[in-house]
Amino acid sequence: MTTDFPRWFTSSYSNNGGNCVEVATNVPGTIPVRDTKDRDAGTLTFRTDSWSAFVQFASQKGTP
C-alpha cells in the first residue's frame, strides 16, 4: 500500500495513559514511530525487518 500520509495507531496493549508510541504500517519499506505526547517532535524510522525483530524480542516472555 502506498500513501503520502502515515496512518498512525497505538498498541492495543496501551492503557491510554499517554505514555505510548504510535507506529504507522502503511509506509512501504519503513516503520515510522513517534511519541504520542509530542507528535510534532519528529519520528524515528526503522526498516521493516528491524522493527519486526524488535517486536519479536520485546514480546518474548521470560527474557531478561
Residue-wise pLDDT tens digits, 2-50: 557 899 998 777 776 667 889 999 999 999 999 988 889 999 999 999 9
pLDDT of 64 higher than 70: no
Minimal CA–CA distance to 8: which of 31, 38, 41? Answer: 31
The three three-digit cell numbers of residue 39, written as one number: 507528535
> What pLDDT sits at residue 58?
83
pLDDT of 63 higher than 60: no
